[in-house]
């Protein structure tokens, strides 16, 4: 084995080590030079080549009605700009100057608020100054308009060639306009920031999760490279029924205009589930128009007035201190309660005298209800208030809408000396008829809905599900807040009394002759804070709360109207709105059998108009009618065959008509508009039409020779 020679190998290793050391020192020196002397230069280059951590905004989720119709959705909008520096670098500035007139003419057609000369002046100034971010128009534009701008000369090139670039936004749009606007919610202007309603409550779910991208320059082009893709927002399925919502809004709006109301609220709830099918909040604005400004339905803490009397009587019935045979004296309509006069609404007409307990509600007697409660609870007002609590009126409903506040019903408290510290002698009397309490309309409706539901109190439900890509992320089932708010016997008695309030008492205008309605009217003076109830014009809160059909309740509803001055009637004003909503809802769900319409004058063989028999034959066969001497519906688009359709007891007979001379005016009597106009205009006769139905008169008689520019007026009826 050859011995290793250190003398020959060692110099070689030293040489390699020296060279590597020299290279390392050179690299370190160059790096130090770059990091110090050339730092600013390379930082500038880096900033032009890429931009890190640019967020990608996800698509905001939709808000849908109970049957899947869009109530709020995000659509793209754009702000458009010109980068004349990029245009010049791409050497397309000459082409831009040559096309400037065509570009400005096209922009003027899309944005007529600026003339072509104004566009030309602004663009040429921007080109001269090499502006990098010149707005073409100051406002956002929709997607269709954006596409039209992109088709203009030069601007159709890539952004690096044309300098045409844009910012894209997710604009929130509501296909049904103002329907349930405050409940669905809004976003703040140009920002993707929720401001109210379900948009705000479920903002996290709707918003999604931002992605991340970086902008990298590759071969003289900037590319957006996605590092973390965005996660789009989920969709919210509400309980709102668009048809019922529209119906409730129109009914309330019509009455507000009729009585010059200030504020209107209407809520419709499904009895069995607590689903909110409609919720309307209308304010009268300075221009006299009514708009959704505030969600009064869940946020207004107002004294409810007489709709509260139902709860008072229920407490007394449930405690067994009275029964429905109880009589109470109301005298001449004025009764002094501990130094303060209480009046019934008809006190000027002599009052109601002696009333039974049910009639105190039917006539909405302040004296009758307050005396019943005072006689049984004056020494223990806390027992009465606890009874109100047990009915669920003061429960926190946890409504998922910002601004909601639960009812405020004061519980009497005593000090160490056994003296009431927050209670007066008159407090119980006035609380029993709906004063000295603050209850939002949604809480009052929830209470009445529980009566309709046999005593089971359901939580108002606004959202059913959160879904994404057909997958259910969250399911909000109906929630029972109280299995039974009162004894079953009490509920049955109150259902009967409330039905009689509508059929026999002050709530008649809320009723219907097609189905039974139950409910209670309310007319209350509204306090003006420190000024009390007596400063200037009196404001009133007019209410009607109830359910329908009374025998098998499906829906509950409350209508509240605030107005100034007299006349003011809960039954006569809010009750009318309730009536229109109830009848509209029941009509929408009405299913009729054809047998119900059968009588001695009924005809079950259809009548067909004179005209094209091929079309008549096709339609009648498709509908399953027996057509003799026809074509079995086989030639709907063939050349017209003119004639009439006759009917006997069980079938239809097609009768062809002898063809007219094409040079004379045809006889179109009995024809529909389509056939009559076709036949006339095929012969060069211009047609004018009035009315609807079939032709009963033609201004130019049949058989008259056709002349040029002839005009025939057809009257339909």
Contact 312, 369 (CB under 8 A): yes
Q: Is the pLDDT of residue 689 over 90?
A: no
The per-residue pLDDT for range 73-123, each reduced to its tens digit, is 877 788 999 999 888 888 888 899 999 999 999 999 999 888 999 999 999
Question: 80: exposed, middle or buried (C-beta count within 10 Å: 0-12, 13-18, 19+)?
Answer: buried
Q: Quick one: 385 and 435 in the same domain?
A: yes
| Predicted confidence band of residue 19 (pLDDT cuts 50, 70, 90) | confident
User: Based on C-alpha coordinates, what's the Rg of the chain?
Assistant: 39
The per-residue pLDDT for range 330-367, each reduced to its tens digit, is 999 999 999 999 999 999 999 999 999 999 999 999 99
| Predicted confidence band of residue 645 (pLDDT cuts 50, 70, 90) | confident
CA distance 703 to 667: 8
On whether residue 18 sits in a domain, the answer given is: no
Residue 420's beta-bridge partner residues?
A: 414
Which of 195, 214, 237 represents a domain boundary (last residue)? 237
Q: Quick one: 558 and 640 in the same domain?
A: no
Q: What is the pTM of this model?
A: 0.71
The predicted structure's pLDDT at residue 616 = 73
Best CA proximity match to 520, nearest among 716, 302, 365, 324: 365
Q: Quick one: 644 and 679 in the same domain?
A: no
The predicted structure's pLDDT at residue 191 = 58
Which of 237, 270, 291 represents a domain boundary (last residue)? 237
In terms of pLDDT, which residue wins out, 701 or 340? 340
Neighbouring residues of 645: CB distance < 8 A, sequence distance ≥ 6? 607, 608, 609, 610, 613, 616, 620, 652, 653, 654, 655
On whether residue 31 sits in a domain, the answer given is: no
| Predicted confidence band of residue 677 (pLDDT cuts 50, 70, 90) | confident
On whether residue 596 sits in a domain, the answer given is: no
Q: Quick one: 493 and 542 in the same domain?
A: yes
Q: Quick one: 372 and 389 in the same domain?
A: yes
Q: Quick one: 683 and 580 in the same domain?
A: no
Residue 518's beta-bridge partner residues?
A: 547
| Predicted confidence band of residue 530 (pLDDT cuts 50, 70, 90) | very low
CA distance 111 to 256: 39
In terms of pLDDT, which residue wins out, 135 or 675? 135
In terms of pLDDT, which residue wins out, 670 or 387? 387
The predicted structure's pLDDT at residue 81 = 93
CA distance 184 to 182: 6
The predicted structure's pLDDT at residue 249 = 94
On whether residue 226 sits in a domain, the answer given is: yes
Backbone torsion region of residue 77, taken as left when φ is above 0, otherwise alpha when ψ lies between -120 and 50, otherwise beta: beta
The predicted structure's pLDDT at residue 217 = 61
CATH number for the domain including 389?
Answer: 3.40.710.10
Tell the residue number behind the tokens 């040559």, with chain if given: 98
Give me the percent of the chain exceeding a pLDDT of 90. Answer: 49
Q: Quick one: 615 and 531 in the same domain?
A: no
Least confident of 21-25, 263-267, 392-396, 419-423: 21-25
Which of 659, 679, 704 represents a domain boundary (last residue)? 659
Q: Is the pLDDT of residue 218 over 70?
A: no
The predicted structure's pLDDT at residue 48 = 55
| Predicted confidence band of residue 594 (pLDDT cuts 50, 70, 90) | very low
On whether residue 46 sits in a domain, the answer given is: no
Residue 620 φ then ψ, to 5°: -65, -40
Q: Quick one: 668 and 712 in the same domain?
A: yes
The per-residue pLDDT for range 546-561, each reduced to its tens digit, is 999 999 999 999 999 9
On whether residue 37 sits in a domain, the answer given is: no
On whether residue 207 sits in a domain, the answer given is: yes
Q: Quick one: 202 and 341 in the same domain?
A: no
Q: Quick one: 615 and 681 in the same domain?
A: no
Q: Is the pLDDT of residue 1 over 90?
A: no
Least confident of 412-421, 657-666, 698-707: 657-666
The predicted structure's pLDDT at residue 192 = 67
In terms of pLDDT, which residue wins out, 288 or 636? 288
Average pLDDT over residues 143-152: 89
| Predicted confidence band of residue 531 (pLDDT cuts 50, 70, 90) | very low
CATH number for the domain including 78?
Answer: 3.90.1310.10
Q: Quick one: 358 and 479 in the same domain?
A: yes
Average pLDDT score, the chain: 86
Least confident of 635-649, 655-669, 689-703: 635-649
| Predicted confidence band of residue 411 (pLDDT cuts 50, 70, 90) | very high
Domain count, the chain: 4
| Predicted confidence band of residue 172 (pLDDT cuts 50, 70, 90) | confident
Q: Quick one: 303 and 380 in the same domain?
A: yes
On whether residue 669 sits in a domain, the answer given is: yes
Rounded-to-10 torsion of CA 470, 475, 476, 479: 140
The per-residue pLDDT for range 449-500, each reduced to its tens digit, is 999 999 999 999 999 999 988 899 999 999 999 999 999 999 999 999 999 9
Least confident of 53-62, 283-292, 439-448: 53-62
Q: How far is CA 402 from CA 159, 182, 593, in A?
A: 43, 10, 46
| Predicted confidence band of residue 508 (pLDDT cuts 50, 70, 90) | very high
Domain that holds residue 714: 662-717
């Amino acid at each position: 084995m050859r011995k290793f020679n250190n003398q020959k190998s060692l110099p070689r290793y030293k040489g390699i080590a020296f060279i590597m050391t020299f290279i390392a020192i050179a690299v370190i020196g160059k790096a130090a030079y770059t990091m110090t002397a050339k730092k600013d230069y390379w930082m500038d280059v880096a900033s032009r080549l890429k931009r890190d951590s640019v967020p990608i905004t996800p698509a905001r989720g939709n808000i849908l009605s109970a049957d899947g119709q869009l109530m709020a959705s995000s659509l793209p909008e754009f702000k458009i700009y010109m980068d004349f520096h990029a245009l010049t670098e791409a050497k397309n500035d000459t082409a831009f100057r040559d096309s400037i007139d065509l570009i400005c003419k096209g922009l003027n057609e899309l944005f007529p608020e600026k003339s072509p000369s104004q566009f030309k002046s602004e663009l040429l100034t921007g080109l001269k100054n090499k502006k990098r971010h010149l707005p073409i128009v100051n406002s956002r534009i929709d997607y269709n308009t954006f596409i039209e701008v992109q088709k203009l000369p030069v601007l159709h090139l890539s952004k690096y060639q044309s300098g045409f670039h844009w910012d894209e936004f997710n604009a929130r749009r509501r296909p049904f306009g103002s329907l349930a606007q405050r409940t669905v919610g809004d976003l703040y202007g140009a920002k993707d920031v929720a401001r109210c309603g379900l948009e705000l409550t479920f903002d996290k779910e709707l918003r999604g999760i931002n992605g991340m991208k970086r902008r990298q320059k590759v071969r003289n082009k900037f590319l957006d490279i996605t590092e973390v893709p965005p996660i789009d927002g989920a969709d919210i399925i509400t309980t709102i029924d668009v048809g019922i919502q529209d119906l409730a809004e129109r009914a309330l709006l019509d009455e507000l205009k009729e009585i010059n109301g200030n504020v209107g609220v209407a809520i419709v709830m499904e009895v069995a589930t607590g689903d909110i099918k409609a919720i309307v909040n209308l304010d009268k604005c300075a221009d006299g128009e009514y708009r959704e400004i505030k969600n009064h339905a869940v946020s207004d803490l107002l004294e409810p007035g007489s709709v509260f009397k139902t709860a008072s009587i229920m407490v007394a019935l449930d405690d067994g201190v009275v029964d429905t045979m109880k009589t109470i004296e109301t005298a001449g309509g004025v009764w002094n309660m501990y130094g303060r006069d209480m009046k019934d609404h008809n006190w000027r007409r002599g009052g109601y005298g002696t009333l039974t307990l049910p009639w105190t509600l039917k006539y909405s007697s302040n004296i009758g209800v307050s005396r019943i409660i005072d006689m049984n609870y004056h020494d223990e007002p806390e027992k009465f208030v606890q009874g109100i609590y047990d009915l669920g009126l003061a429960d926190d409903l946890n409504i998922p809408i910002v601004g909601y506040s639960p009812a405020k019903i004061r519980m009497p408290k005593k000090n160490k000396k056994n003296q009431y510290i927050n209670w007066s002698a008159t407090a119980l009397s006035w609380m029993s008829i709906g004063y000295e309490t603050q209850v939002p309309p949604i809480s009052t409706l929830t209470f009445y809905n529980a009566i309709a539901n046999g005593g089971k109190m359901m939580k108002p439900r606004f959202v059913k599900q959160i879904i994404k890509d057909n997958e259910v992320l969250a399911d909000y089932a109906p929630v029972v807040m109280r299995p039974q708010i009162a004894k079953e016997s009490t509920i049955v008695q109150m259902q009967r009394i409330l039905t009689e309030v509508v059929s026999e008492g002050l709530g008649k205008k809320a009723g219907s002759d097609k189905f039974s309605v139950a409910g209670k009217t309310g007319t209350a003076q509204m306090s003006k804070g420190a000024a009390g109830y007596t400063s200037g014009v009196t404001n009133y809160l007019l209410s009607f709360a109830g359910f329908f059909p009374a025998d098998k309740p499906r829906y509950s509803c409350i209508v509240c109207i605030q107005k100034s001055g007299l006349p003011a009637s809960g039954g006569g004003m809010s009750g009318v709105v309730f009536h229109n909503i109830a009848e509209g809802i029941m009509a929408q769900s009405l299913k009729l059998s054809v047998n119900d319409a059968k009588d001695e004058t009924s005809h079950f063989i259809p009548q067909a108009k004179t005209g094209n028999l091929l079309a008549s034959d096709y339609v009648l066969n498709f509908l399953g009618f027996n057509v003799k001497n026809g074509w079995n519906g086989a030639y709907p688009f063939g050349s017209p065959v003119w004639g009439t359709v006759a009917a006997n007891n069980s079938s239809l007979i097609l009768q062809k008509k002898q063809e007219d001379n094409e040079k004379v005016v045809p006889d179109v009597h009995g024809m529909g508009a389509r056939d009559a106009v076709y036949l006339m205009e095929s012969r060069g006769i211009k047609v004018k039409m009035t009315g609807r139905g079939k032709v009963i008169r033609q201004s130019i008689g049949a058989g008259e020779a056709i002349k040029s520019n002839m005009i025939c007026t057809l009257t339909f009826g």
